[in-house]
Structure 1
Amino acid sequence: MTDTSTQSPTSSTAHEGSGAGGYVTKGQEFNRDTNYITTRITADGRDGFPVEPGRYRLVVARACPWANRAIIVRRLLGLEPVLSMGVCGPTHDERSWTFDLDPGGVDPVLGIPRLQDAYFRRDPDYPRGITVPAVVDIPTGAVVTNDYPQITLDLSTQWTAFHREGAPELYPERLRDEIDHVADLVFRDVNNGVYRCGFAGSQESYERAYHRLFDRLDWLQERLSTQRYLVGDTITEADVRLFTTLARFDAVYHGHFKCNRSKLSEMPVLWAYARDLFQTPGFGDTTDFVQIKQHYYIVHKDINPTQIVPVGPDLRGWLTPHHREELGGRPFGDGTPPPPPVPSEVVDPEHWVTDGRAH
């Protein structure tokens, strides 16, 4: 959930820091703001926002791992016909994510150039970071929620009337306690752990985060050595949450965030697990490596002052055999894979790995 607040990245509003200011506060560790707009869109409309086809717009950026989760879940569940998606560009300034990929730099549904316009429509004095993903109420143009952990859970549990035939159960009730437990560990030590490394303001805070990260990755390697997925024998919310960090690991976190004990491609079990998911419809086909690298290396100017975007790494390995099917498991349980992405949402082939590398 990327933040474009002008406040310090260790303040109460920080997620990925400020576009114009710094991401690192000298002598301090990185603390992520977890105060979101917690209004929910539910089947019963308890918060005043009932699930309705065509009423809401999911605003994302493909570069952002937190938003990428929502893209994956929406696609796996087949919600494209009822929940439209607006895509911001990979970079932003200190004010807001912008719709610079759209003609004229304006979202064609919301009619706004900046995501902050939807936040200010809800609250003209909105004091926190302008973050993705966000769900916007199209009739009013106001943000309903940016509570990214809850957004994907609600897509699974509240939008069931509009799931495609064959949609998987990503948050089955019988496994929710275990999914929540694993997802919490992954969030604290991996999803957020890479940021604690990258935005550390002292050697001590960096080393603490570094060891927590790789200790958890070792734990995940052991867990996944005997089972295909994190919880149960099918893909769940927990796998979605881990995948988006793993997909960015070698391209960004290993070098840019100094998470350099090992590359993902040097951790055999996690690398095979990540390739298994990448080659599963809904995961790799929502991943845009060019936008990912542009975001981190261009926006984080105090970490990468030249704003030079690396050419590597070589991405051909993502499409190599993973052999994880030998562990059993059924990716979609009793369901089926999603159909191909709608044409307007296909990742640019030159930003993918079809020829062996992202351009």
Structure 2
Amino acid sequence: MSRVFITQRIYPEGVRILEQAGIPHQMRPDENPLPTADLIEQARGVEALITLVTDRIAEDVFQALPELRIVANVAVGYDNIDLSAATRHGVVVTNTPDVLTEATADMAFALMLAAARRIPEADRFVREGRWHGWTLMQEQMGVDLYGRTLGIFGMGRIGAAMARRAHHGFGMRILYTNRSAAPAGLEQELQAERVPFERLLSESDFVSIHAPATPETRHVFTADAFRRMKPTAILVNTARGPLVDEAALVNALRSGEIAGAGLDVFEEEPQVHPGLLELTERVALAPHLGSATLETRTRMCVMAAENVREFLQGRRPANAVNPEVLAG
């Protein structure tokens, strides 16, 4: 009988970790999440789940799978898992931090550049045969990044990596809002200033979101937040969709309260607010590609499998997000 159920297809390097350790496992060949009832049925009796961010692992799953001891999420975020329910049932939850930091920061910066320099519009303009030569006042006039102010909402690993790219590569001034101050060395390196959220909004030319999805951060970017931003400001989100009130964002973009947006995540993925799809100027949209390089996604699968292997072999997994379960 399988000890591990892999809810969706992962890269073979991750599966190989289990094979080399002699751990029986079963992997679904599909790349779409199972309905909860089907997941429960297929995972009966297993000790470990390897899950993806599209899997919803809630109280009903933990109740129905009493043998379950660990859930290894192939992601740095774990808002798809009810962590309090897992802890109550004595189930360890792990994630895959660090490995996707640089790839996600690259994506955030790419979206910021794409929205600022209107790359999606320019691409369509050329492909549709509407470009008839260079002009001084071209239709796709963008804005500079160099020397502007970048506001980082959430100065964790990815936020810091984004700030480094901005400061060292583009000479940008860095403001940040975070629950706690960044290390003094990081602040000094980036000449970064920790400021209240309201000041971050009012002074930033670009605001990049890098905070986790929690009840406290849900819809932190509201209509009021957009009114506080500069009319020339651009919002970038590569964290989690629910941090942004998408209806309010659409209204802010349509009314000119802010100038643009670069979004890799959405409130109701894979559904996207229809208003965002209609906005074709200064808006860049991507299908949750933050960690989507072959090297990074492969390493995420390996790390999740390593977490499972270590736990099932009686060792402490490196990336437990509810370590109190291990102490019990």
Q: Which has the larger radius of gyration?
A: 2
In terms of fraction of residues, the more strand-rich structure is 2
Instruction: Give the alignment's TM-score, normalised by structure 1.
Output: 0.28
Instruction: Give the alignment's TM-score, normalised by structure 2.
Output: 0.30
